[in-house]
Structure 1
Amino acid sequence: MLKQSNDIFKDILSPLAERGTSPYTYFYRIIGYEDQREYLANIKELDEKLKLTGNYIVFDKTIPVSTDSVTIERVRKLFEPAPLKDYRNGALINVLESKGFFSVSSDIRVNQRIKQAFGIVLNHYLKNEKSPNLSILMNFCTKILLWFGDYGKHNRNKSPYNPKVIYWGSPQKHEIYFLILMSLIGYDVLVLNTSFKDKFEKVDKDNQFSMVIKHSKELLIDDFPGRKIQEQENTKTDTNTNTAAKTRTGTRANPSGLVRPALNSETPVTKASADDSIRRVASPKEESVPTNRALNRQKDLTARLLNDPVLVVKLKRTEKIFEEILVPLNSRTGYVGEPYPILPAYFVRYIGVPSSTDDWEAEYYNSLYNLDKTLRMSGLYLKFSEGIPAPSAEESALIPHNLISYAFQDRFEIIEQTLRAKLLPQTYDELLDNTIRKTFVDIVHLFAEKSSNANTSILLNFSLKLISWLNRYVPQLFPRLNRNRKSGNPGQNYEHNPKVLFYGPIKAHEIFLLTAFHKLGCDVLYVHSEEEGDKPFQSFDEENALTHLIRNRHNLSLAPFPQGERLIRKSTIAYNASKEIEEVIYSEEVGLFKPWQFESYGTQPITLKTTYDELKILWKEPVKLRPEFKIQNKKVYVPNLFAKINGVSEDLNDYWQDLKELSSASNTKLIEAVPFTKITYSKQDLYQTSYLLNKKGLLEEFEAAKSRHYKFGHLKAPLQHFLIAKINELLLSEMFLGTVDKKFKLKIIMTILTMDDELLRLIEVFDYPQEVPKVIVYDNKKETFTESDSIMLAYLNLIGLDIVVFTPTNYKTIEHYIKPSLFDCHQLPFVKYDLQLPALDSIQTNPTPKLGLLSRLFKLR
């Protein structure tokens, strides 16, 4: 079991006796540091204590790979009974078990645990790598088995402590898988990485196999703490003979278990590793500086290539690649025909989606579909929409074994031997064949320059992959039937160049192949609908010198390559002109608004404090004419009214006149009795809706829409989103006097989701800058507002509706639930009990309206 620790430097020292009957292990990686001196001192102290356990290994910046040819050959023979197609179903694990590979203990349970650990690691590798080819998988398995053979023996030590591993530095990918294996078979593993470079994030993405501690500071990885002095002392006592022996073996293990590197951990394991270990130990930095002999060889090789005539390809740029890619070469500026052609070819990265006044998403996919259809008719065309398949086992088998196993010194020797082997495709067009050879050389050099850590093994693997790809695709792009010469008619051979379209995510090696296609004279188009898809090219061609970048306005989630045209509507000239005029006239700044212009906006109520007379004046004013109205940041600020009228007027007829006048406004709902909210849900329904709340205690819109109580489904999408957003605003608004706990939140949600249809229609007709829908409540009884009534009024106020409550009795009503500071309270002089609401149509309108208070005071008419 993997166990969590509060102090890993202390807990990792606990013996097996203290770990119970089901022993657990620790696997921690510590990234960065806080106090450098204290951290390094703690590591040094831990190192001294772990040495005393007698069951301890330190890997200093790498895990060395065995260079013993006998061991490597023995491990490779283990794979012979297990074909590649069976690796995923456990055949390899079964073969290893039959060979006794897991029989490291007399305890069957221990051996079974080791077998299971190997299976877990192999399956996790295959899951992460998707479909690795034969050579990659063989290299991985061989390396893991060699490491296990070298270091797995510590698991058999009779010690009161389980084995411990410290890895100092940033482990490479294969090393991470091996550390996971060590942990699974019972090792405590501690990765001490003072830098922020952590490849675990690609291998153990969800921290399934390890736990991480991240600090704030970063430090370049130096020697393992406490070992510099010890190594200096060892060096003084070493004889010349010992030094030479150390150089030959490529590794050095001191009494404490510190292992020094022999090979880079990502170096593929081949038979040549044993045959020529000293030459292959060269680090990437050493390889990047060729010897004098290598430089001379490069000059000779380059001179031979340059003496042969080749196609000259120039990068041509355009902003209209979908049209320009169809233009023949001889119609492009910069084109020169035979005998020494100069080909202006495109290599374009088309990122994102262009904007238009119409359905730009459909236009984008239709343009891709039509381009693909047109290019397919030309015949000389390749399309990659799911990456470029790696070389198959059959293609890899065509590479001579002596080339794979050859101990190359540098990339120049790789190029020379590969050209001598004549593995590149032959088209029987001398000019094109020369260009293919030069392109291969250029791409290998380019790969070495772009890959700072590429050693000879990595360069060889890349070169052989490139050869397999060229042999697969060059015959399709340059078939002999289409290369018949027309004597006496120069310039006809290269008028119509091949096209290559790559759609979707791309890997580094695939970019180099596309570059090779372009150097052969092909038009290359890379397409991705998201800006994120261009990241591999940004590191490959940061200055856009090798490719031309077209970055469009919109981003769109990547979808499969279109298989047909989508339906689309096109705008007329008059329509486009009308839209342009609307953009100028109907803007937030001008103040002219067309109907429903802001239906996708939100609202922010600004509840006005007014006198009773002001309320009556503003009642029928549209939002845009009220004080404090504005539109800003996709939100309409709605000056609305929320008031309670206590008592009645001195002249009761005036009171009814006011009520009649207010209720006569358009889109007004008069509620003649309370409570007015109907409860249509049960207590069981209430508590069953708790799943609608997310972790933050807010209503989850997607889940609400699936609820059987949801009644907004017939509304337009922006309005549905608006209604849910307002519910969440209400949950957070602090409008209520009581505590808004989970139970009350559920009541708010159910009350609004099941609201009366007439109230819902008031919200539906609300065109925010125009007329405000209104609610008038007449309450003349002791039976006053319920909690649900108050929830509805608070919700409608938050949306921006006008609300007035008439209470002739002077009783407390909405004050029981809603904070009094959120609404006006106007007091009239008299109180009436059991005052029945008459039929408002029967009330006679006063011929001469009475003057208001200010008018009477200042004698204004």
Structure 2
Amino acid sequence: MKFHPHNSEQLALWDAQILKPLSQRTGYAESPYTYERIAVQVLGSYRDHDDYRDYLHMIGSEPLYKWDMLFTGMPKEILPETRAEVQKILQIHKETPLSANRMMAFFHGANLFPLKGTIYDEQYRETFKLWLAMLEERYPKLQAPNLHRFFMDLVKWSAHYFPRWIAEGRFNDEVPRVLWYGDAKETEVYWLYFLYMYGCDVVVIHPTGDDIFAPYRLSLPVHRLDEEIPYFDFPFEKPRRLRTVAQKASEELQETIYGEHSLHYPWKYRDYAPQNRILQTTYDEIFLLAREHTHIRQGFEADKTNVYIPTLFAKIVGVSRHKEEYMTRLKQLVDDEWTYTINQLPAVTRQRANMQFHYRDASVNGKLQPEKMMELAVWPYKRLAIALQKGLASAIIRLIEEAPIERLASETQAQYEHYLFGQALAIPDEAIQLFQRFDYAYRSPTVVVFYEEAKGAFTREDAVLLKLLNMLGFDILLFNPTGQRDIEAYLSTDFYDTHWLEEMSFTETLEAILAHRQKPSLNDTQTKIRTMFKRFLN
């Protein structure tokens, strides 16, 4: 029997997901046996360190988790005959190097595999071969002296745990749940990785933020908390917390004012991942909604990890017959401090660097991971707050998965994904600065693109930029007085509205519109007259 586990994508919700039977997890199938595996490193601590210790105590003491807390100590004893068999095989390998298949056959023939004769033996043998290949990448030809300890520990610990797990029914709609806390020796790291490759749920927690797998070029998905703190022993006993009366009162006030069910106070959603929902509007509604707080717009909501932001994405073709109103509205948009204006195209250059290896390094089992993207040397957004980096990385992953930008006939799927990945790392500084100021429940940044034929042509790279910014919660407004094709050459019209105005014009320039002085309206004139009379009467 072979397992086909895939990693959970909901790393922030691992503690709830891990309690689910395999049959209730995402992607479960019986033939072939496929299920969602919980594999995560939880690195760092909450801002409230006492809450963090309480949380560790809770998950460590809750019987429902059925943890195997391997960090508390693993068995050291090994049967003399077992030790002799391992030494015999390693001596043969030392004299005449064995291939992975032959070494696996020797171990299996010597009854060193604990699942021999069970339906789980095939999975163990396949995992052993993968484990050997992984070791060989670090220790060529498996000839390093310290590998003796690796094999002894693997055989010893496998013989201790796997028969017990089977006897306990741990492979009936569940898999063993392994918890590791703190640092680990190299042989322990490779044992944990063996269990991960076999298909167990593996959770590693480290308050200092250290990735115990990184030094050995191994990878387990990472979920980073708010900050890194010094190491402390795992809290098996409930931590004692003595808080002052003033602190308790302050906490109660914070909960009253800023609780989950309160209004949208500033930066309430700073740790959430932004996801956009495109609004369908009339032309006139655009200019009303552009200044409206996002939490007032229809469709704004949040769950435990995401905030869903209603956004505008519209192309305005031509010029209104009411020229004065058209110019005034556009000038007000461009003059707004929340607007990033693009008048020279292309707005972003094509990234020529080969992204193949960066894309690979940011992936686990072929899927991009936000935490690994943030660790790349080419990741240009490291100066942003961690929460913003995670939100941006998640949006880039969605951009690549949803693939809204037209793929060229000459591109392979891999080339297309690498292209999007590279372009997503080239967001202009003006947009990044607005993103840093963006409080998701309040004013949404606006990108105004004014197309002039004399100022360059719209490119595929521009389409990638605008689509990604929209996915982050930006409003996107393209003004094209000429009616010529631009974004529709690269992005399906399903992703934006098009509003056709009465006249096409080839002479409009943004410079002239911004220099235009608005004529006073009747209301403005009446107001001035009333003011003059008041002054005269006084």
Question: What TM-score do you get using the length of structure 2 for normalisation?
Answer: 0.54
Query: Whole-Å Cα distance in 1 between the matches of residues 244 and 390 of structure 2?
Result: 32
From the superposition, tell whether residues 692 and 791 of structure 1 become closer, same or farther in structure 2 (CA, over 3 Å).
farther
Q: Is the 8 A contact 1:649 1:655 kept in 2?
A: yes
Query: Whole-Å Cα distance in 1 between the matches of residues 449 and 232 of structure 2?
Result: 56
User: Does residue 595 of the first structure (1) align with residue 262 of the second (2)?
Assistant: no
Letter in 2 for 1:181: A
Letter in 1 for 2:330: L
Query: Whole-Å Cα distance in 1 between the matches of residues 107 and 282 of structure 2?
Result: 79
User: Does residue 711 of the first structure (1) align with residue 384 of the second (2)?
Assistant: no
- Structure 2 equivalent of residue 617 of structure 1: 288
Matches within 5 A, 1:492-531: none
Matches within 5 A, 1:717-736: 717-736=386-405
Equivalent residue for 1:830, pick from 497, 500, 503:
503
- Superposition deviation, residue 837 in structure 1: 1.8
- Structure 1 equivalent of residue 427 of structure 2: 755
Gaps of 5+ in 2: 1-30, 32-73, 89-104, 133-178, 186-202, 206-227, 235-240, 524-538
What CA deviation, in whole Å up to 9, does each residue of 1:386-435 have, x standing for no partner? 9xxxxxxxxxxxxxxxxxxxxxxxxxxxxxxxxxxxxxxxxxxxxxxxxx
Equivalent residue for 1:137, pick from 72, 80, 84:
80
Letter in 2 for 1:704: M
- Structure 2 equivalent of residue 843 of structure 1: 516
What CA deviation, in whole Å up to 9, does each residue of 1:305-337 have, x standing for no partner? xxxxxxxxxxxxxxxxxxxxxxxxxxxxxxxxx
Query: Whole-Å Cα distance in 2 between the matches of residues 764 and 581 of structure 1?
Result: 28
Residue 736 of structure 1: SS of its match in structure 2? coil
Matches within 5 A, 1:335-350: none
- Structure 2 equivalent of residue 779 of structure 1: 451
Query: Whole-Å Cα distance in 2 between the matches of residues 606 and 840 of structure 1?
Result: 31
- Structure 2 equivalent of residue 768 of structure 1: 440
From the superposition, tell whether residues 731 and 182 of structure 1 become closer, same or farther in structure 2 (CA, over 3 Å).
closer
User: Does residue 666 of the first structure (1) align with residue 356 of the second (2)?
Assistant: no
From the superposition, tell whether residues 200 and 688 of structure 1 become closer, same or farther in structure 2 (CA, over 3 Å).
closer
Residue 291 of structure 2: SS of its match in structure 1? coil
Q: Is the 8 A contact 2:359 2:421 kept in 1?
A: no
Q: Is the 8 A contact 1:735 1:819 kept in 2?
A: yes
- Superposition deviation, residue 587 in structure 1: 3.6
From the superposition, tell whether residues 571 and 769 of structure 1 become closer, same or farther in structure 2 (CA, over 3 Å).
farther
- Structure 2 equivalent of residue 379 of structure 1: none
Query: Whole-Å Cα distance in 1 between the matches of residues 355 and 383 of structure 2?
Result: 23
Moved more, 691-700 or 770-779: 691-700
- Superposition deviation, residue 748 in structure 1: 1.8
From the superposition, tell whether residues 792 and 735 of structure 1 become closer, same or farther in structure 2 (CA, over 3 Å).
same
Query: Whole-Å Cα distance in 2 between the matches of residues 775 and 200 of structure 1?
Result: 53
Query: Whole-Å Cα distance in 1 between the matches of residues 130 and 356 of structure 2?
Result: 36
From the superposition, tell whether residues 711 and 572 of structure 1 become closer, same or farther in structure 2 (CA, over 3 Å).
farther
Equivalent residue for 2:494, pick from 821, 826, 835:
821
Query: Whole-Å Cα distance in 2 between the matches of residues 753 and 575 of structure 1?
Result: 43
User: Does residue 738 of the first structure (1) align with residue 407 of the second (2)?
Assistant: yes
What CA deviation, in whole Å up to 9, does each residue of 1:737-793 have, x standing for no partner? 336822222222222212211111121111111110111010021742111100000
Q: Is the 8 A contact 1:709 1:754 kept in 2?
A: no
- Superposition deviation, residue 675 in structure 1: 1.4
Identity %: 25
From the superposition, tell whether residues 589 and 702 of structure 1 become closer, same or farther in structure 2 (CA, over 3 Å).
closer
- Superposition deviation, residue 692 in structure 1: 4.0
Query: Whole-Å Cα distance in 1 between the matches of residues 439 and 131 of structure 2?
Result: 56
Residue 206 of structure 1: SS of its match in structure 2? helix
- Structure 1 equivalent of residue 277 of structure 2: 606
What CA deviation, in whole Å up to 9, does each residue of 1:440-493 have, x standing for no partner? xxxxxxxxxxxxxxxxxxxxxxxxxxxxxxxxxxxxxxxxxxxxxxxxxxxxxx
Q: Is the 8 A contact 2:407 2:416 kept in 1?
A: no
Question: What TM-score do you get using the length of structure 1 for normalisation?
Answer: 0.35
Query: Whole-Å Cα distance in 2 between the matches of residues 711 and 192 of structure 1?
Result: 50
Matches within 5 A, 1:220-235: none
Q: Is the 8 A contact 1:180 1:209 kept in 2?
A: no
Query: Whole-Å Cα distance in 2 between the matches of residues 738 and 199 of structure 1?
Result: 41
Equivalent residue for 1:181, pick from 110, 116, 123:
110
Letter in 2 for 1:829: E
Query: Whole-Å Cα distance in 1 between the matches of residues 327 and 337 of structure 2?
Result: 18
Matches within 5 A, 1:784-795: 784-795=457-468
- Superposition deviation, residue 607 in structure 1: 0.8
Equivalent residue for 2:349, pick from 678, 683, 702:
678
Q: Is the 8 A contact 1:692 1:700 kept in 2?
A: no
- Structure 2 equivalent of residue 636 of structure 1: 307
Gaps of 5+ in 1: 1-33, 35-128, 146-175, 184-188, 211-351, 354-360, 365-385, 387-528, 532-555, 563-568, 851-861
From the superposition, tell whether residues 702 and 587 of structure 1 become closer, same or farther in structure 2 (CA, over 3 Å).
closer
| Larger Rg belongs to | 1
Letter in 1 for 2:397: N
Residue 838 of structure 1: SS of its match in structure 2? helix
- Superposition deviation, residue 821 in structure 1: 1.6
Query: Whole-Å Cα distance in 2 between the matches of residues 655 and 702 of structure 1?
Result: 45
Query: Whole-Å Cα distance in 1 between the matches of residues 359 and 426 of structure 2?
Result: 16
Equivalent residue for 2:252, pick from 580, 591, 597:
580
- Structure 2 equivalent of residue 301 of structure 1: none
From the superposition, tell whether residues 708 and 693 of structure 1 become closer, same or farther in structure 2 (CA, over 3 Å).
closer
